[in-house]
Amino acid sequence: MTFIEGARRDLLKRTEGHEESKKPRVYIGGIGFRGTQGIESTDASYFPLDWVRARNLAKELLPKGHAFVDKEKILSWDPDLLFIDGGGLGNIRQDYQKKPEFYRHLKAFKNRQVFLLFPYNWYVTNIDTAVADAFAAGKILYPRSFADLDPKRKADDIYTFLLGKPVYLRMEKEFGKLGEALSFSP
């Protein structure tokens, strides 16, 4: 627990002092819930975003927990930045092929501000992956505060400490590069 608490403190310290109104408004989509889900599946208490003090738009709907959000609501929010849970990425890519106009209306898609995070709730909560996601999200949201951080190296440090071996490359092979900007095309 000391390792996890140290990571949490590091994240909170790196992200303190950022004015709330100047932070990008973010949305996390594709959160697994009884199976893989699409863009409408989100979480107001997505702790990788909480630990970096992100402006998670889902908190406008409920203080914590999972939610399914209508696409119209996502359009009305028009987030500055979107995170996609790697578990739901395939569903979102399929939906993009069917309804590209929805995605093209979102500022985050227009400005190429859509980023991959690894799924950390896959049968059980994988705290190692959640912490790695938090560091990757921090690097994206606050590049200056995380200038010294390499998300891949940090993820392997976390995996090595908690699992006894680096597994980042296996995760990357399965889901893609942690923190990468995603591209979509019809």
Q: Which fold has domain 2-175?
A: Rossmann fold (3.40.50)
Domain ranges of the chain: 2-175
How far, in whole angstroms, is CA 119 from its chain's centroid?
A: 9
Cβ-Cβ contacts under 8 Å for 106 (sequence gap 6 or more) = 74, 75, 78, 79, 82
pLDDT one-digit tens code per residue, 20-39: 989 999 999 999 988 899 99
Query: How many Cβ atoms are within 10 Å of 56's Cβ, its own excluded?
Result: 20
Give the C-alpha separation, 27 to 80, whole Å.
8
Q: Answer for the pair 81, 26: CB distance below 8 angstroms, yes or no.
A: yes
Give the C-alpha separation, 99 to 104, whole Å.
9
pLDDT, position 35? 85
pLDDT, position 122? 67
| Nearest of 135, 130, 152 to residue 13 by alpha carbon | 135
Enclosing H/E stretch for 117: strand 114-117
The DSSP line for 144-169 is: TTTTT--HHHHHHHHHHHHHSS--HH
pLDDT one-digit tens code per residue, 118-141: 999 866 678 999 999 999 999 999
**Residues of the chain falling short of pLDDT 50:** none
Q: Answer for the pair 115, 84: CB distance below 8 angstroms, yes or no.
A: yes
Give the C-alpha separation, 82 to 56, whole Å.
10
Task: Say if residue 61 is exposed, middle or buried (CB neighbours under 10 Å; 0-12, 13-18, 19+).
Answer: middle
- N- to C-terminal Cα separation, the chain: 45
